[in-house]
Amino acid sequence: MSTRELPTYCRICEPLCGLIATVEDGRLVQLRADKEHPLSRGNACPKGIAFSEIQNDPDRVLYPLRRTAAGEFERVSWDTALDEISERLRGLIAEHGIESLGWYFGNPSSFSYSHTLWMLGFQMAAGLKHVYSAGSQDVNNRFVASQLLYGSATSVPVPDLDRTDFLLMLGANPLVSHGSVMSVPRVREKLTAITERGGRVVVVDPRHTETAKLFEHVGVRADGDAWLLAAMLQVIFEEGLEDAEALRRQAAGVRELRAAVARFTPEATAAVTGLESDRVRALARDLARAESAAVYGRTGTCLGRHATLVAFLIDALALVTGNLDRPGGSVFGKELVAVSELNARLGFVGYGKNRSRIGGFPDVLGTFPAAIMAKEITTPGPGRLRALFTSAGNPVSSVPNGRELASALAQLDLFVSIDIYVNDSNRTADYILPATTFLERDDIPLPFTALSPTPYTQYTERVVEPYGEAREEWRIIDALATRIGVQPFAIGPARAAGRLLSTLRRRVPGLSSARPTPTLLADLALRTGPYGDLFGLRRGGLSLRMLRRHPHGVVLADAITTGVLRDVVQHKGGRVRLDPDEIIIELHTLTDRPADPAYPLRVIGLRELKSHNSWMHNVELLMRGDREHAARINPKDAAVAGISDGDRCRVSSAHGCIEVTARLTEDMTEGTVAIPHGWGHRGGWQRANAAGGANVNDLMSTDLADVERLAGMSNLNGVPIRLDPVA
Ligand SMILES: Nc1nc2c(c(=O)[nH]1)N[C@H]1C(S)=C(S)[C@@H](COP(=O)(O)OP(=O)(O)OC[C@H]3O[C@@H](n4cnc5c(=O)[nH]c(N)nc54)[C@H](O)[C@@H]3O)O[C@H]1N2
Ligand SMILES: Nc1nc2c(c(=O)[nH]1)N[C@H]1C(S)=C(S)[C@@H](COP(=O)(O)OP(=O)(O)OC[C@H]3O[C@@H](n4cnc5c(=O)[nH]c(N)nc54)[C@H](O)[C@@H]3O)O[C@H]1N2
Ligand code: SF4
Ligand SMILES: [Mo]
């Protein structure tokens, strides 16, 4: 028997904690935290450790599955599956064109460089239009705000946690989520260090969260952030607290922004924010006067009705107070691979290059709002979505109006899913193709270096061979593409990458393999990137070979370099634009949702330590202790509705209704109810199915008017609801 201990890293969420995998005869026996990882230093959460149960889960899909006429799944060979799928694809493309083909890629895809690269290569080479992702339920508003501010969608500032004196955090709960759109192992320590050195952390959240309990809490009303941020800017301008020097140096359009926020006094906004005007005024003054301050917002600010505006105002507030691109402020990390720069030059993906057939929404980095996917399937006419692939996604559970989507999926001519489970979406797929887990593939976290206040990276080989017949997504995409005559990295804008590759192949010994592979592309991108070894020209620079010699990861710098705004901003003149029409118009027209006595409360999301979106409810270690799906309700709201702790209650919105257990807690501000997403399972995962609960997204709307206009964000927070006791 051979036992090996292999360093790798966790790819469930963004800190990417170092792990040690114990492998016996090709099987994973255990995962534990890696003490030698330079940043996570022996820290990992229960989900990371419990991933061994997913790796070894008997419910995993390990062989290609085909759905029979009776609706059951049967095992088929890879060749059968790929041949049949591509034959049907060729038929559909011949009859309806490539526009009839679409893809939805879910959250775990962003933790696999090879999946992302091949997906993008295929999308561009095939000219796919119907591309959707978890991004419209997560972060696309952030990219659009960056496009408007900086002219560069992929340039996103992160809070400089190690040096800041004041962190204003809106709609984020890093004590549970472990941080998002910032890659920070041991995030709790980083946050408490701020207050330990005399600084402040202020958490703006309708719920008194785990994070808010450690620091200062501002209990904003759900979806009130745009008003709060505008009011803070109003106070700062009115009282002359802005950093005039920074504005002169960095910004254009200050006057217009100042005029647009003038009506948002703390008094005028108090009813919408639920906050006393004195409190908002003091917060604005304190932020402006802090030695340094960072402003950071996450999903709580991304899923309301004004998500792009809110993301925009978050950075505007940092800039106006002189805290953008300076130590301790909101800072721009250096990318491991110069994606933003390359994209600025070659224009691979951007914002508003295309419009969706339904609703005319602008694309965000090549993707359309997932909220319209169902209507794109069911609405007849040219360009109708007829064949859909999902990879690493469970959209029925994660996008608004799950029931509508489930019934639309059943109308597809062809539905293929690449996943590790039969989940709540692909249970009606024609084929399910088994993907490898992250332990079964090599990886390098390409996008995350720029999001880490301490820049670092790590390369890992696979630690076990794929179980059963599981295959990496890129290989599946490659095989399908080849069979329908599409070559990722050969056509369209991707040709540039292909050309670069063939030039380098001629010059660099060892780069001679016939087809590009992810490892080859990653090595190339890394070596020619900002930290790269430039094929020997830069001593100590990065290459995969160098990273293989440091299997626990490499810290690349002590801190993010500041003073880089000129390089970040792509607008002519090199200044941050504070007055884009889209934003100024929205500020002028901003109105609160009219009160509806039928739905007096608002629902928001909630993440729990032992859940991960929809896909870790099959893990025994995480489900112990009778976990159940529950709505968190303020006791006063519960009393009005006639509901007691532990009761079953009906939650209704104008769009649907679900039943869940009620948990009364003073943690909720009055008027707001929190319900986790990702429950109510009907997949092939036995324990998850048995865990009960409901799909909270059945309450959410896909009406075009409810999809945020600028970034196509789904409205999942602050949605009006009513509570009723269940008889
Ligand atoms: N109401 C409400 N809805 C929300 C949110 C919310 O806060 N409130 N949050 C939103 C957010 S931020 C997100 S990111 C989305 C998530 O939305 P999705 O990405 O659509 O859904 P997940 O639950 O992450 O499901 C991931 C799927 O990938 C599979 N999987 C796991 N690892 C791999 C792998 O390595 N390869 C492959 N091929 N498959 C794999 C899992 O089995 C699972 O089926 O949900 C969104 N929905
Ligand atoms: N344990 C665990 N960790 C996770 C995940 C998970 O499912 N479980 N999911 C991962 C994913 S995909 C993501 S994107 C990240 C998300 O990372 P975070 O955004 O940090 O995670 P959340 O816990 O959703 O925090 C959002 C907070 O916003 C608050 N909120 C809701 N509505 C509003 C509002 O209108 N205004 C304000 N100001 N706040 C509001 C909620 O109460 C909540 O505390 O977490 C990742 N990490
Ligand atoms: S916090 Fe947990 S789930 Fe996230 S990367 Fe670390 S170990 Fe994995
Ligand atoms: Mo997410």
pLDDT at 623: 98
Mean pLDDT of 699-719: 98
Cα distances (Å, whole numbers) of residue 7 to 371, 447, 473, 540, 704: 39, 21, 23, 22, 47
d(CA 133, ligand 3 centre) in Å: 22
3-state SS assignment for residue 435: strand
Residues 29 and 23: beta-carbon distance below 8 Å: yes
Dump pLDDT digits (tens) for 552-578.
Answer: 999 999 999 999 999 999 999 999 999
Q: Which residues contact 690 (CB under 8 A, 6 or more apart)?
A: none
195: β partners: none
Q: Is the CB of 613 under 6 A from ligand 1?
A: yes
Residue 519 identity: T
In the chain the domains, ranked by start, together with CATH numbers, are: 3-55 (3.30.200.210), 60-128+369-443+456-488 (3.40.50.740), 140-335+564-589 (3.40.228.10), 499-549 (no CATH), 601-725 (2.40.40.20)
pLDDT at 605: 98
pLDDT at 507: 57
3-state SS assignment for residue 508: coil
Give the integer Cα–Cα distance in Å for 371 and 13. Answer: 24
Which residue owns the Cα nearest ligand 1 atom 40?
Answer: 392
Which residue owns the Cα nearest ligand 1 atom 45?
Answer: 398
Choose the weakest-confidence range: 375-379, 536-540, 616-620, 630-634: 536-540
Q: Which atom of ligand 1 is nearest to the CA of 441?
A: 35
Cα dihedral 527, 532, 538, 539 sign: negative
Mean pLDDT of 7-24: 98
Structure tokens at 349: 């993906």
Burial per residue of 179-207, b for 16 or more beta-carbon CB atoms within 10 angstroms, e otherwise:
bbbbbbbbbbebbeebeeeebbbbbbbbb
Q: Is the CB of 391 under 6 A from ligand 1?
A: yes
Give the integer Cα–Cα distance in Å for 173 and 98. Answer: 42
The answer on pLDDT for 354 being more than 60 is yes
Give the integer Cα–Cα distance in Å for 571 and 152. Answer: 8
Q: Is the CB of 612 under 6 A from ligand 2?
A: yes
Structure tokens at 634: 């303020």
Residue 347 confidence class, pLDDT cut points 50, 70, 90:
confident
d(CA 105, ligand 2 centre) in Å: 20
Q: Which atom of ligand 3 is nearest to the CA of 44?
A: 7
The dihedral over CA atoms of 426, 430, 431, 437, expressed in degrees to the nearest 10, equals: -10
Dump pLDDT digits (tens) for 151-210.
Answer: 999 999 999 999 999 999 999 999 999 999 999 999 999 999 999 999 999 999 999 999
Q: Which atom of ligand 2 is nearest to the CA of 223?
A: 35
Q: Is the CB of 115 under 6 A from ligand 2?
A: no
Nearest Cα to Cα of residue 54 among 473, 618, 614: 618
d(CA 304, ligand 4 centre) in Å: 15
Residue 528 identity: T
Cα distances (Å, whole numbers) of residue 245 to 242, 250, 321, 323, 413: 9, 9, 10, 11, 60
Q: What is the CA radius of gyration of the chain?
A: 25
d(CA 179, ligand 2 centre) in Å: 9
Give the integer Cα–Cα distance in Å for 252 and 250. Answer: 7
**Nearest ligand by distance to the CA of 310:** 2
Q: What is the largest CA-CA distance in the chain?
A: 75
Residue 693 identity: G
**Nearest ligand by distance to the CA of 389:** 1
Q: Which residues contact 585 (CB under 8 A, 6 or more apart)?
A: none
Taking residue 341's Cβ as centre, other Cβ atoms within 10 Å add up to: 18
**Nearest ligand by distance to the CA of 700:** 1
Q: Is the CB of 718 under 6 A from ligand 1?
A: no
Q: How many residues are listed for the chain in this entry?
A: 727
Taking residue 347's Cβ as centre, other Cβ atoms within 10 Å add up to: 11
Give the integer Cα–Cα distance in Å for 421 and 433. Answer: 10
How many degrees, rounded to 5, is the angle at CA 203 between CA 331 and CA 222? 110
Q: Which of 420, 441, 629 to mutate to test the pocket of ligand 1 (most atoms within 8 A of CB)?
A: 420
Dump pLDDT digits (tens) for 156-171.
Answer: 999 999 999 999 999 9
Give the integer Cα–Cα distance in Å for 340 and 346. Answer: 10
Cα distances (Å, whole numbers) of residue 104 to 130, 184, 398, 467, 589: 8, 28, 12, 25, 33
Looking up tokens 């390089």 gives 567
Nearest Cα to Cα of residue 331 among 164, 456, 161, 160: 160
> How much of the chain exceeds pLDDT 90, in percent?
94
Which residue owns the Cα nearest ligand 3 atom 4?
Answer: 13
Q: Is the CB of 696 under 6 A from ligand 1?
A: yes
Dump pLDDT digits (tens) for 108-167.
Answer: 999 999 999 999 999 999 999 999 999 999 999 999 999 999 999 999 999 999 999 999
- Global pTM reads 0.97
d(CA 606, ligand 3 centre) in Å: 18
CA atoms within 13 A on the CB side of 517: 10
The answer on pLDDT for 366 being more than 60 is yes
d(CA 173, ligand 2 centre) in Å: 6
Nearest Cα to Cα of residue 121 among 348, 383, 387: 348
Dump pLDDT digits (tens) for 461-507.
Answer: 999 999 999 999 999 999 999 999 998 776 444 555 566 666 666 65
**Nearest ligand by distance to the CA of 304:** 2
Mean pLDDT of 61-71: 97
Structure tokens at 406: 């489930």
Cα distances (Å, whole numbers) of residue 184 to 7, 13, 335, 448: 19, 10, 16, 10
Question: Counting beta carbons within 10 angstroms of the beta carbon of residue 506, is it exposed (0 to 12), middle (13 to 18) or buried (19 or more)?
Answer: exposed
**End-to-end distance of the chain based on CA atoms, in angstroms?**
59
Cα dihedral 362, 706, 296, 556 sign: negative
Structure tokens at 216: 């200062």
Structure tokens at 534: 């430039």
Q: Is the CB of 13 under 6 A from ligand 2?
A: yes
Give the integer Cα–Cα distance in Å for 313 and 320. Answer: 10
Dump pLDDT digits (tens) for 572-585.
Answer: 999 999 999 999 99
Higher per-residue pLDDT: 300 or 512: 300
Residues 606 and 630: beta-carbon distance below 8 Å: no
Residues 613 and 398: beta-carbon distance below 8 Å: yes
- 375 backbone dihedrals φ, ψ, rounded to 5°: -70, -30
Give the integer Cα–Cα distance in Å for 239 and 234. Answer: 8
> What are the E-state strand segments in 107-184?
130-133, 158-159, 166-170
**Nearest ligand by distance to the CA of 179:** 2
Quote the mean pLDDT of the chain: 96
Q: Which atom of ligand 1 is nearest to the CA of 614?
A: 23
Rounded to the nearest 5 percent, the helix, strand and coil shares of the chain are 40, 20, 45
Give the integer Cα–Cα distance in Å for 721 and 633. Answer: 12
- 529 backbone dihedrals φ, ψ, rounded to 5°: -85, 180
Give the integer Cα–Cα distance in Å for 110 and 117. Answer: 10
